[in-house]
Amino acid sequence: MPFRIHFGQDDLLRCRFAVSPLWETQEAVRTLRRPDRHTYHPQWLRRIREAGRGLDLSALWFLMPQRGHSPDFLGPPPIGPAARFEEEIAGVRASDPVAARDDMARALACTPGAAESPKGRALLADPAAAVRELADTLEAAWHALIEPDWPRLRALLEADVAFHSRRLAEVGLGGLLPELDRRLSWDAGTLTVEWRGEHVRRLSGEGLVLIPSVFSWPDVISGFDAPWQPTVAYPVRGIAGLWAEPAERTPESLVRLLGRGRAAVLAALDTPDTTTGLAHRLGLAPSSVSAHLAALRGAGLLVSRRYGHHVFYECTPLGSALGTGGGVAQELD
């Protein structure tokens, strides 16, 4: 049964993309208990194995039913296009205890017996303490599970936003939304999301937030009742290559043509990335990567596009032909 969001005229002007480290932290916690989400994350799961053992995530898991509502205040819509975790967790800590109690009660009701259990009664009896406990747990999860990999995650998420922002300019909102995921459809001002229950929301000028997500895969997640801004989180593009390490050996034909550093940068740009993201992936100094990018762009192998405060680089068709194994380069040998 579908989830339908009806747009007014003003809502079409207030749709925005955002990237949220808090959202990824919450969904990473959920992913640890969801084997169906592990397909693309074996390297990450191995890395966080020890860190995960030192975390007590039971309170968060208790509020994450297999089906149904999860508390909105634990992962509210991002406050901006590139919010920092510190800003987002401060919002969680500032949650109104009365509203948080209602939110938790709704989540607990989705699991038979949860509200009457000792843990459920404790959460509802002192919601202010529960907010503090849950915020502390989320912050610990951020440091252990997400923060070490955030440059890589952020680069992929922001590349998705840059790509879809261009598509929005090309095809409009009605054309873009079905491209985000096959479970989204648009007809006459109504967004329909394939969902496990029936839900309808009529927007009144607040618009919609679109969040690409790594750890929500394969789910499309939609919701947030008032006063929260309606939000749709969808699987990010390029997730299959997220944890892939750079090739151990850049093709020698490409090295002979471009030099080792420039060849490594070009070969790594299978998806758009920033100077910082490439430096992190390749283990090079940002200044060196910047110089290589400038040379490759000058040669017509790359183009650059700005998104917010970040500049993303991606291959031109010639750059792709060279970077995927040196097909053109080998012809030049």
Cα–Cα distance measured from residue 83 to residue 103, given in angstroms and rounded to the nearest whole number: 23
- Model confidence pLDDT, tens digit, residues 14-60: 888 999 999 999 999 999 999 989 988 998 999 898 877 889 999 99
> From CA 331, how far away is CA 325, in angstroms rounded?
11
pLDDT at 207 over 60: yes
DSSP code string of 151-162: HHHHHHHHHHHH
Tens of pLDDT along 72-115?
A: 999 888 877 778 999 999 999 999 999 999 999 999 998 899 88
> Averaged over 182-196, what is the pLDDT?
87
Is CATH 1.10.10.10 what the domain over 246-332 is classified as, yes or no? yes
Q: What is the pLDDT of residues 101-157, one digit of tens each?
A: 999 999 999 889 988 999 999 999 999 999 999 999 999 999 999 999 998 898 888
- Cα–Cα distance, 176 to 142 (Å, whole number): 31
**Which range, of 234-238, 250-254, 260-264, averages the lowest pLDDT?**
250-254
Structural domain spans, the chain: 2-235, 246-332
Query: Phi-psi bin for 283: left (phi > 0), alpha (psi -120 to 50), beta?
Result: left
- The whole-number pLDDT of residue 138 equals 97
pLDDT attached to residue 249: 54
Q: Are 33 and 65 in contact (CB under 8 A)?
A: no
Task: Give the mean pLDDT of the chain.
Answer: 85
